[in-house]
Amino acid sequence: MSQQPEYPCPAAHYSSPTEPTEFSSEERAILLQLAHDAILASLENRTIPLDPPSSHLAEPYGVFTTLYLTGALRGCVGYVFPVSSVYRAVAETAVAAAFEDGRFPPVTADEAPHLKISLSILSPLKPICPEEIEIGRHGLVVSLAGQRGLLLPQVPVEHKWDRITFLEQTCRKAGLPPDAWLKDAVIEGFTAEVFGEQGAE
């Protein structure tokens, strides 16, 4: 894996992007199929080519891959930063979500055909003031003294959190006191284009 993956989400099934779409329906289909192919290849101990099929899919993005099985979360792992092409990042995070998310046992060969996949493609991180945060539009990263927590934009929508609760929960994700955002913690925001298969909820 290219960097230490993140495990951001207790749930993530909000699939209405609030930003202009960056990826076409064809590109979305390619990336979702790639995620399935990467998981199956790992189960079968084989490799698949990870050369991006287009210049756009060769561009670097942060990516989170979320897996669902019969409507329940089955794994969620991602890269906050754009460490590789979006094409390679989708394949790597799909495999990590299936086999390296310590909250779940590894995906089995019997489960793999039934997985539903949701992808979150992240914009670059930027400093953000608390009053600028828009629920459903922004994801957050809170960091202090080497500790960092991240929550995707769809998480507060799922849990019906307001802005303050979202900040507090991101602090908790970092292992910090819930009011750390009021003190010395660094707050960064990002947006995400979220798309997935029917049943990825």
- Residue 30 confidence class, pLDDT cut points 50, 70, 90: very high
Q: Which domain, by its residues, includes 174?
A: 126-190
Residues 115 and 135 in one domain: no
pLDDT value of residue 3? 52
Tokens of residue 57, six digits: 């899919």
Q: Are 161 and 169 in contact (CB under 8 A)?
A: yes
Cβ-based burial of 110 (10 A; exposed 0-12, middle 13-18, buried ≥19): exposed
Q: Are residues 32 and 117 located together in one domain of the fold?
A: yes
Tell whether 16 is covered by a domain.
no
Are 119 and 135 within one domain? Answer: no
- For residues 78 and 159, membership in a common domain is answered with no
pLDDT tens string 45-60: 999 999 999 999 999 9
Strands (E) in 12-136, as ranges, are 62-69, 72-79, 116-122, 126-127
Domain containing residue 143: CATH number: 3.30.1490.150
Asked whether residue 6 is domain-assigned, the answer is: no
Among residues 34, 53, 61, the alpha carbon closest in space to that of 121 is found at 61
Number of domains in the chain: 2
For the entire predicted model, the pTM comes to: 0.79
The reply to whether 111 and 131 lie within a common domain is: no
Tens-place pLDDT, residues 63-76: 999 999 999 999 99
> Is there a contact between 37 and 65 (Cβ–Cβ < 8 Å)?
no
145 and 93 in a common domain: no
Q: In what order do the strands lie in the sheet with 186-190?
A: 126-127, 186-190, 139-144, 147-151
